Amino acid sequence: MALFGAILNKGIKLGKKIESEQRSAFEMQKKELKKLLKKASETQFGQHYHFQGILQNFNVGGESFYSEYKKNVPIWNYNQLFNKWWHKSKAGERDVSWPGIVRYFALSSGTSEASTKHIPLTKDMIKSNKRTGIQQILSLSAYDLPSEAFEKEILMLGGSTELLKAGSYYEGDLSGIQASKIPLWFHLFYKPGRKIAKNRDWDKKLNEITVNAKNWDIGFVVGVPAWIQIMMERIIEYHKVKNIHEVWPNLKIFVHGGVSFEPYKRGFEKLLGKPLIYMETYLASEGFIAFQSKPNSKSMKLVLDNGLFFEFVPFNEKNFNQDGDLVDNPETLMIHQIEEGVDYALLLSTNAGTWRYLIGDVIRFVSKAESEIIITGRTKHFLSLCGEHLSVENMNKAIHQISEEFNIEIREFTVSGIEHDSLFAHQWFIGTDQPVDQEKLKLRLDEHLKQLNDDYRVERGHALKDIFVNVIPSAVFYKWFKSKGKEGGQNKFPRVMKKALFDEWSKFVKQETENLH
């Protein structure tokens, strides 16, 4: 393994040196769209939307190919695309929106809706995800790690790798599907190993990892922050140690994604004996979209040359209604047309047979030249009952500020808009296990939000009459996951809830808190 680590490290440095010459973002994306259209031109979708005709415009020059693409192919949300096309792939039909039969579907609850989504995962998409994973490994050359770091084991905490057979396809959490497809050589490093990774029972899986933790030499941990934190806490408690580095002294890197790490960071760092390198990834069920490519960066580099074509919809009232749904004929842009500092909703066309698909995430470019982005929220995860335009980014910042101010760890939170005094209010649920004055916390949260968002400040003097804060044990959030059968994997708690889900959640909280007394 030592020799393998040295070879891998040299390979990373060599790979960095021989990176292909930089093409423009526009040229890379033009090439990707052409490849996608060409490969899917004989599918049912490709024939219906005249892919062959669109392809003829690629030789004309300029942006006529993009104009034709927009003119011929509509924008889709999940329900529209599934009901018209993907349901056929799920039933075993060939060549629906991508060539061949779709053998895998990633299950995703999304973060805005309660129902489970079935996202197609083709062989080509699985290969693309692996290639981007390798690109991220190559980016480690920027971190100047010693060869020994690459001899250590990698713990990937995800969904079960024992996928459910359903007719002509298998289904499961994306992390479980990807882990079931890792190459043979990677098993030298991979933990918790095949047997434990297969376990569908989250508690049992966590217990087995906890018991075996001391037998492993972990250097990298990969997963969603909430579940990694719970795992580390269990290991520390079980082995009666002060921090995770007493069990894994060589732990150096935490690769995380799925949600903003900021709300978890304070509590997470209490579990460490020494600082970690944090690497953020943007791996969605729909594709491996971006990753952090350099140390101490708060942004991620879009993957422009690996089976994904991006379009960007300015996230504003011209393009979205108050429910976060697209209006008819919204403005859409290619990568060279974007501006830094503007929020955009993402449309994806991919080698999994998604075409102009609104995935629901909102991003912002921090560097146009480097195609570097941050995730600022979701199209459905903002509150604007009366023009307050409160984003998840605002919420995360305010929660971070009050956790620092009150010296408490806030692990989860959610908020919803409610009717109040014939107008409106915001109802917050905040998860912490430390005592805090709820009324003082409410006042300070309100103040921070006013400082972060001018529209919010204005509306707090008008139609947004109040905010209500309910501080609850963080365990209640995870019990909710358990009640839904959604512990572990890529599941994350919705930061903003719509009315039906919020009513259900409120009843659940009432029940759980009554049981505690």
Q: Encode pLDDT of 253-271 as tens digits.
A: 999 987 778 878 888 999 9
pLDDT for 10: 52
Average pLDDT rounded to a whole number, residues 276-293: 94
Q: What is the pTM of this model?
A: 0.85
Q: Are strands 390-391 and 382-383 parallel, antiparallel or unpaired?
A: antiparallel
Q: How far apart are CA 222 and CA 397, in angstroms?
A: 24
Residues 85/96, Cβ–Cβ less than 8 Å:
yes
CB environment 259-280: b (16+ within 10 A), e (fewer): bbbebbebbbeebeeeebbbbb
Nearest CA to 434 among 402, 465, 463, 459?
402
pLDDT category at 15 given cuts 50, 70, 90 is: low
Residue 85 confidence (pLDDT) above 60: yes
- Which of 138-142, 291-295, 305-309 has the lowest average pLDDT? 138-142
Between 514 and 68, the more confident residue is: 68
Counts of helices then strands in the chain (DSSP H, E): 18, 20
**Alpha-carbon distance 12 to 115, whole Å?**
41
Position 22 scores a pLDDT of 66
Alpha-carbon distances of 248 from 152, 213, 229, 369, 468, rounded to whole Å: 10, 8, 15, 39, 42
Question: Which CATH code fits 2-18+125-291?
Answer: 3.40.50
How far, in Å, CA of 244 to CA of 257, rounded? Answer: 20
Of 393 and 70, the one with more pLDDT = 70
